[in-house]
Chain A
Amino acid sequence: MARVAIVIPVWHHPALVDEAVLSCLEQKNPPDYRIILVNDGCDMAQTRQSLEGWQQAHPDRIALLNQPNQGLSAARNTGIEHALQDPDIEGIFFLDADNRLDSHALALFAKLLDSPDPAGWFYPHLDWFGMEANASNGEAWSLARLASINFSDAGSLVRREVFEAGVRFDTNLKIGFEDWDFWLGAVKAGFVGAPVLESFFRYRKRPESMLSTAMRSDDILRDQLRAKHKWLYATERLPEAWNTEWPRFAFCDSEGGYRISSDPRAPATVTRADILSGIFNKRSNLAESRFPGMLVFYAAEAWEDLRQAKLLDSALYQLEGGLRASPVATLKLTKGALSVRAGAQKHDSTGEILGEADFIAISMHHLGAALDQKDMERIIGYLLENVPVQPFDIQLPEVSKRLRTPLDALMDLVGELILAPMAAVSPRQYTNWRVPVFAPIARDVADNNADGRPALAAKPPEKQIGFVVSTFHFGGIEKCVSALARALVEQGNTCHLFIYGNDEAEADLWMFEPFSKVWVLSYPPLRNWEGGRYMGTGSAEHPGPDLLGDALGPLAQMDIAVNCGVEFINHGLAGLRQRGVRTVSWQHLSETTPYGRSMGGPFMVLGHEAGYDRILTCSNRLATWLAAQGVPRSKLLPLPNGPGYACEKTPRRNLPKGRLRVGFLGRFDPQKQVEYYIDVAQKLRGRFDFKAVGGAVLGVAPDFPDWLPPAPPIRSRAGLDAFYASIDVLIMPSKDEGLPLTILEAQRAGVVVLASDVGAVSEAIIDGDTGFLLPADKVVERSVSVLERLDSNRGLLMQIARAAAGKPDRWEQNATLFIKSLL
C-alpha cells in the first residue's frame, strides 16, 4: 500500500500539468506512492483529456477525481479526503499543476517520514524556475517569521497526523494565502514545520500567477489572516514567539558575565566564546542569524540599581528604541529624584558620554560595519569615536558606586573580536548562493502588537493592570492610582505604572511600592495638547508611529490599561483593544478657564468614549454628569475616593484649648483659590493660628502677608500626618474639585473641614454633620462665621470631627468592583 500521496489540483493548466505528472512518475527509488489528480471543474476539454490519459495509462498509480469548480483549497481538500481513505498513507505532498518535483523527491519523502523529527510538515527551499531564483527557507523553524511572511510553500510534505487533527485548507480563501492559513492552522493544532535543506521541489515562477494576484491583495488577505488567527496575532503568542526565537539583547556585564535573551531576568547565560562566534555569525548572515541585533554593555551595579527601582525593563526598552536613530545609545544613572530623560542625539567627539555611561547599547549592524574596517585604529574609530550617540539620563534616589565601567567591558570584547581569526575574513567570503529569507522585523511584530514593540518578558499568569499617568508626583490623582493599585495587588493582581509624558517622578518611594514595573517615556510630543478641540478641550496630536508604538508596546501586555489623563494614548486605543486589552479611562474633575468655562479630561473622554470599555469616576456626581452627556451607564463605574495612603495609627484628639489652629494644604494655583484663605486669615488674625502649606505648580502664587509665610509642599506620609495633627480646622476654598483626598485624609485625622461646595465635595461632607460646605460665592464670609462658631463651641468641633473620622477605607471595595466590572 502507498505511503505517500501526491495531490495535484488542476485548473487551467492543461499542458503544464503533464510536466507535473511526469515529474512524479520519473522518480528514483521511491516508496510506494499514489498520485491524486483533482480536476477542479476545469472548463478546458484539453485538461480532461490530459488527466484521463494519464490515469488510464497508470491506473494503479494515479487516481483521477473530477468535481465542479470550487477553488484551490476545496480541490486540495478533496484530494486529502481521498488520500486518507488509504490507512497506509503517512504523508501527503501538495504539488500544483504547473510545478515539478525533482527525481529524488519521493525517496527523500520516505526518509523524512522515517526521521525522528516530530515536525508536522516539511517545507522546501524556494527554488523557482521560469523567473529563476533560489531563496533559502531559513533552515530553522520560526513561528514569528511565519506570522510575518509565508516562507513555507504549499509544496510541502504533511504528515497524516496533521489532517487527522482536522486541519484543512480554508475554502473561503479563494484568491490566495490559503497555504499560509493552512500552516497557521497546523500550528494552532499543535504542530510545527521543519525546513528541508536540499532541493526537491520546483516552483514555476511566472510574472502573472495566482501568487502575484494574491500579492496585489496583500493587505486585505493579511487582514483576513489576522482576523482568523487571533490566537496568534491578538494574544501574547506572537510576542512570546518573537522574544524566544529571536532574542533581542546580548548582555555583557562589567564583571565578565554574558547572557543572550529578550527578558533581562532570564538566566540565559552563555560563554564569551558564544558571544564572539555569534557576532561573527550575525555579521555574515544578518537576515537569518538568531544572534540579537544589539549588544548591551553595563555596569553590574547600575543594573541592580535599575532593577530595584523597577525601571530595568523600561530602560532597556528605551535603549532599544534609541538604536532606531543612532548606532549607539547610552544610559547614565545619577542620584536625585526619580526621572528619566532622553537627551538630544549628539556626536561623542570627546568620548565623554561613553566614558561616563552605565549602559552602552550598540547595534550589531554598526559593530559589523566597524569590523569591516582595515585595522584596529580604524575599527575603534568607527565604532566609538565621533559616533552619533543617543543618551538617556536616569535619576534614582540611590545610586551604587561603580567598580568597572561598561566601556571597559566593551573594549575588552572589541579587542578580542579584532584578534579573532574570523575578523580577517570578509563576511562576503562565506555568502551562501541562496538568497536569505527575511527575519521577522520588529515592525512586523509591532503591527500585531498595538503597533508597538512587545514588552521584554513573558506575560505572567496573574492579571496585569497598567496605570498610565502623565506625571507621578505627590498629588491626589497619583495617590489614588497608588492606593487602588495597592488594593488590586492585595487581591492577587499585578500592577504596572506607565509614566508617559513628563520626565520627572518625584513621588515618595512608598507610592511606587504596589507596582511590579515602572515604565517611563518622556518626550515633548507626549505632552502635546495642540490637536483638534472637542467641546472646547484640546486633544493631543499624534506623536508619530514610533513614539506611540513605544508607548503602546508594553501596554499591550496588560489585561487592563487604565488611562489617567494621558491624552495621546487615545490615538492607540483601537490597537490596544484589537490586542485584547480592556481599556479604561479614570476621570477625576473638570477644570475651569479664567473666563469660567468648564473644560478638561471629562470633556475629552466624551470624544473618545467609543474607545474605552469602562470609564471610572472618582465620584458619583461625575459619573452622573458623564451619563448626562451621553456616556452609556453600563460603561460608567464610580469609584469614590478614600484617603490616599494608609495611616497606621490615627492620633487621639482632645478638646482643643487656646486658639484654634486653621490650615490650608494644596497648590497655590488659581484652581485652589488660596487667596480666599488669606482673606479669611487676615479677617481673623490674632484670634486663630493660621498656616499654609503648598507651592505654585501651574500658576503664580499670590502674595502672602509677612505674618503668614507659606511652608513648602509636603511629599511624605509622615509629613502629612504631622500636618493634620498640627491643625484643628482645614479650609479648602477651591474653584474646582473632584472628590479631594485632602478632605478625606483630614477627616480621618480628626480635622474639621470647611470646603467650597464644588465638584463632588458634597459626597465627602454632610454640611454641619461631617464638616461644612461653603457656598462658592460666599467662601470667605461663610468661613469666618463657621470658624467663629466652632471657636465658641468647641464641643461642636469635637462632635463633627468624630463623625467625619469614622468612614471606612474604600479602596478594597473599589478594587473588587473594578475587577468584577472588567474581567
Chain B
Amino acid sequence: MGQNALFSFLASKGLPLGGVPASLSCIPLAAWLEKKSIVWQGALPIAVLVSQKDSTDFEKSALARYLSQQDVPVFFANEAPTELELLRWICDQAVIRLEAGGRASSDLRAEAAALRRDYMQLQQNFGATEDFLYAGFAPQFVCSREWAYASGSVQAGAVRQRLPVGSSGLVAVDIWAMAKGQGQLRFTRFTGEEFAPPVPFFATGEGWVRVKLDRPLSGLSEDVLLEIDTDIPLGLSLPTPLVQFQAAGAAAPLALRVWKGLPGIRMPEMMPSKHRHILPASDMPDPEVKGGVVKRLRGRDAFSLHPGFESRMEVVFRDIDVPMAANIAAYVQNFGPETVRLALEEIGGLPARVIYLQAESHGQCDLEIAAAGKVDLRFTLSAPSPMVSVYIRGLEICPVAG
C-alpha cells in the first residue's frame, strides 16, 4: 500500500473529518488493524484517529506497537468529538511535524556551516603545508614503480596495460618509445570510463616519454588501465608471470615508470626548462661511486649514501643538463647519529661548497654554474665513522637573472 503524500494520517471509519483539507491525506485505519507484519511505505503518518469502536482492536495491534515506538501521536475519539475538534487536533499535529522539519533544517544549516568553516581552514592549512614542502624541497612526486626497459616491443596501434598501483595521487607515467612519433594515452577503468581527458604525447626518439596529467588524481584509490593509441612501437620490460600485468599481446608489461604526487594539488614542473625546475633523484643518472656504496631508493625517490671503512666517499653525477647559468641546490638529508661534512662541486669548475649536516637533519648544498651546458657534479662525503646514512633527494636548478 503506497502512502506517498507529504502528510497523511490514519483514521477510523465514521469519524467526522469533513473539514480536513485535501493536502492531509486520510488513510483508513481498518485495513491496518489486522496486519501482523508492518511495512509502512513512505513517510509515517502524522497521527492516528481511533474511534471508540476500533480502540480495543487498535491497542492490540502490531501497528499500535510500532507507531508507539516511532512516537506517532494517537487520538482516541471516545466521546464523540466534533468535526472542529478533530480538525484542530489534526492541524496541530501537522504544525508539530512542520516545526520538527524546520528544526531539522536548522540543524543541517548549522552542520553545513561548521563543515564550510573546517573546509576553509583545511584548504589554508594545506596551502601552507604545500608551500612549506616546496620551500624545503621535500619530494612533491615520487617514482612509485619502475619497470625498466628490457627488450622487445609491442607494435604501434592500440595498447592496453594494467597499472600495479592505485589511482590516488597518480600524476604521470613514462613509457618507452622505440622511435620518434606520437600518440595519446587514456587513464581508464576496466570498463572504459576515463579518470581524466586523454593526454597526447610526442616522442623525439628512443627513450622515456613522460605522459603527465595536469594534477594528481584525487579521490579514493581504484585500479587503473592505460589505453594507448600510438604510431610507434613501445618498449617492453622484463617478462612477468602475472598475466594481468602483461601488456595485451605480450608476455611482459610495458616498460613503465609511474609517478605519484599528493592527490589533487598542482604538479611542479618535472622537465628541464629555462625556468626554475626540479630534478628529482629518479630523473638523475646513475652515479659513479668511490669509497662507499650508493643505492637508488625508488620508493623514496632518493639516493642513499653509505661510506666505506674510511668514512669518506665520492659520488659523481655526469652530464647534468643545465639550460643556462644557474644556481644548483642539492637537497640532502642526514639520518645518521653524527654530523657529516658534504661538499658539492662542478668538476673542472669553481671550488667546492661545503656544508655540515647535523645528525637527523636536512639541508641544501649550493653551487653556481656559470654557463649553460652539461656538467659533472661531485659530492664528497666525510663522516666521523662509517655509521652514517645520507640521502640525496635531487637538485633544484634556479636560473640566475641576467
* A positions within 8 Å CB-CB of B: 15, 28, 41, 43, 45-46, 48-50, 52-53, 55-56, 59, 63-69, 78, 82, 102, 104, 107-108, 111, 125, 127, 129, 134, 139, 197-199, 202, 277-281, 283-285, 421-422, 424-425, 429-434
> Quick check: is B284 within 8 A (CB to CB) of the other chain?
no
A15 to B114 alpha-carbon distance, docked (Å): 15
B220 touches A66 (CB 8 A): no
Q: Are B104 and A421 in contact (CB under 8 A)?
A: no
Closest to A281 in B: B241
Q: Is B245 among interface residues, defined by CB-CB distance under 8 A?
A: yes
Option from A46, A69, A102 in Cβ contact (under 8 Å) with B222: A102
Q: Which of B66, B166, B221, B239 contacts A41 (CB 8 A)?
A: B66
| Max chain A Cβ within 10 angstroms of own Cβ: one of B66, B69, B70, B100 | B70
Contacts of B123 in A (CB 8 A): none
B193 touches A134 (CB 8 A): no
Question: What residues on A are CB-neighbors of B165 within 8 Å?
Answer: 433
Q: Is B78 an interface residue (CB 8 A)?
A: no
5 A-B interface contacts by CB (under 8 A): A41-B69, A68-B65, A69-B69, A127-B222, A198-B189
Indicate which residue in B4, B164, B245 contacts A59 across the interface (CB closer than 8 Å): B4
A66 and B40 in contact (CB under 8 A), knowing A111-B191, A430-B164?
Answer: yes
Instruction: State whether A66 touches B44 (Cβ < 8 A).
Output: yes
- With A139-B244, A280-B241 already in contact, the answer to whether A134 and B221 are too (CB < 8 A) is yes
Q: How far is the CB of B200 from chain A (nearest CB, A)?
A: 24
Distance A52 CA – B111 CA, assembled complex (angstroms): 19
A56, A134, A425, A429 — most chain B CB neighbours (10 Å)? A429
Query: Which of A66, A197, A198 is in CB contact (< 8 Å) with B70?
Result: A66
- Contact check, A127 vs B65: say whether CB atoms are below 8 A apart: no
Chain A residues near B245 (CB, 8 Å)? 430, 432
- With contacts A66-B39, A67-B39 taken as known, whether A284 is within 8 angstroms of B240 at the C-beta atoms is yes
Q: How far is the CA of A791 from the CA of B221 in the complex (A)?
A: 101
Q: Which of B164-201 contact A (CB under 8 A)?
A: 164-166, 189-191, 193
Of B4, B41, B245, the most chain A CB neighbours within 10 A belong to B41
B43-A55 in contact (CB<8A): yes
Task: Say whether chain B's binding surface is mostly helix, strand, loop, or mixed.
Answer: loop
B4 touches A433 (CB 8 A): no
A66 to B70, CA, bound (A): 10
| Closest partner residue, chain B, to A66 (CB atom) | B40
Cβ contact within 8 Å between B44 and A48:
yes
Question: Is A431 a contact partner of B240 (Cβ separation < 8 A)?
Answer: no
In Å, the complex CA distance between A59 and B44 comes to 15
Does B347 touch A at the CB level, under 8 Å?
A: no
Q: Hey, which bits of chain B sit against chain A, CB under 8 A? A: 4, 6, 37-44, 62, 65-66, 69-71, 100-101, 104, 111, 147, 164-166, 189-191, 193, 220-223, 238-245, 253
The complex places the Cα of A56 from the Cα of B7 at a distance, in Å, of 11
Q: A778 CA to B330 CA in the complex, in Å?
A: 110
* B residues less than 8 Å from A281 (CB atoms): 241-243
Asked whether, in the complex, the Cβ of A68 is within 8 Å of the Cβ of B43, the reply is no
A68 in contact with B69 given A49-B101, A104-B189, A111-B191 (CB within 8 Å)? yes
Contact A284 B44 (CB under 8 A): no
Select which of A45, A46, A66, A421 is within 8 A of B238 by beta carbon.
A421
B165 CB to nearest chain A CB (Å): 5
- Bound Cα distance from A59 to B39, whole angstroms: 18
Q: How far is the CA of A82 from the CA of B40 in the complex (A)?
A: 11
A424 to B252, CA, bound (A): 13
Chain B residue with Cβ nearest A50: B104
Min CB distance B246 to A, Å, is: 10
Task: For B223, give the chain A residue with the smallest CB separation.
Answer: A198
Verify A64–B43 contact, CB threshold 8 A. Answer: yes
Q: Are B220 and A64 in contact (CB under 8 A)?
A: no
Select from chain A the residue with minimum beta-carbon distance to B71.
A45
**Complex contacts, B101 vs chain A, CB 8 Å:** 49, 53
- With a CB–CB cut-off of 8 A, which chain A residues contact B69? 41, 43, 68-69
Tell me whether A430 and B100 are in contact in the complex, defined as CB-CB below 8 angstroms, given that A48-B44, A48-B70 are known contacts: no
Q: How far is the CB of A365 from chain B (nearest CB, A)?
A: 16
Contact between B220 and A127, CB atoms less than 8 A apart: yes
User: Given contacts A48-B44, A102-B222, A198-B191, are A65 and B39 in contact (CB under 8 A)?
Assistant: yes
Pairwise interchain contact A56-B66, C-beta atoms closer than 8 A: no
Which of B40, B164, B241 meets A422, CB within 8 Å?
B241
For the complex with contacts A422-B240, A432-B245, 16 further pairs of A-B residues with Cβ separation under 8 Å are A41-B66, A50-B104, A52-B42, A52-B43, A64-B42, A65-B39, A67-B37, A104-B191, A197-B223, A198-B189, A198-B191, A198-B223, A199-B189, A281-B242, A430-B242, A432-B244
Query: In the complex, what's the smallest C-beta–C-beta distance from B118 to chain A, in angstroms?
Result: 15
Chain B nearest Cβ from A819, distance in angstroms: 50
A198 neighbours in B (Cβ, 8 Å): 189-191, 222-223
- Are B241 and A283 interface neighbours, CB within 8 A? yes
Please state if B39 and A78 are interface contacts (CB–CB under 8 Å).
yes
Chain A neighbourhood of B65, CB < 8 A: 68
Nearest chain A CB to B52 CB, angstrom units? 26
Bound-state Cα–Cα, A567 to B165, Å: 56
Contact A425 B242 (CB under 8 A): no
Residues of A within 8 Å of B220, CB to CB, are: 102, 127, 129, 199, 202
Q: Return chain B residues, CB-CB under 8 Å to A283.
A: 241
- Name the A residues within 8 Å of B240 (CB-CB): 284, 422, 425, 429-430
Q: Which residues of B contact A107 (CB under 8 A)?
A: 191, 193
Q: In the bound complex, what is the Cα–Cα distance between A98 and B190 (angstroms)? A: 26
A514→B65 CA distance, assembly (Å): 70
Residues of chain B within 8 A (CB-CB) of A280 are 241
Q: Which 4 A-B pairs have the closest CB atoms?
A: A280-B241, A199-B222, A281-B241, A66-B40
Q: How far is the CB of A655 from chain B (nearest CB, A)?
A: 83
Contact between B239 and A422 (Cβ–Cβ < 8 Å)?
yes
* Chain A residues, CB < 8 A from B104: 46, 49-50, 53
Tell me, rounded to whole Å, the shortest Cβ–Cβ distance linking B226 to chain A.
14
The docked-state distance in angstroms from the alpha carbon of A56 to that of B42 is 8
Query: How many angstroms between the C-alpha atoms of A53 and B98 in the bound complex?
Result: 12
A425 near B40 with CB under 8 A, answer: no
- Are B147 and A429 in contact, CB atoms less than 8 angstroms apart? yes
CA–CA, A50 to B66, complex, Å?
Answer: 19
Chain A residues within an 8 Å CB radius of B70: 41, 48, 66
What chain B residues lie within 8 Å of A65 (beta carbons)? Answer: 39-41
Q: With a CB–CB cut-off of 8 A, which chain A residues contact B147?
A: 429
Could you say which residues of chain B place their CB within 8 Å of the CB of A49? 100-101, 104
**Min CB–CB distance A65 → chain B (angstroms):** 5
Q: Using CB atoms, name the residue of chain B closest to A426.
A: B238
Partner of A425, one of B164, B221, B223, B238: B238
Contact, CB under 8 Å: A422 / B221: no
Once bound together, how far apart are the Cα atoms of A63 and B1, in whole Å? 12
- Given A45-B100, A68-B66, A425-B193 contact (CB < 8 Å): no
Check if B44 sits within 8 Å of A52, measured CB to CB. Answer: yes
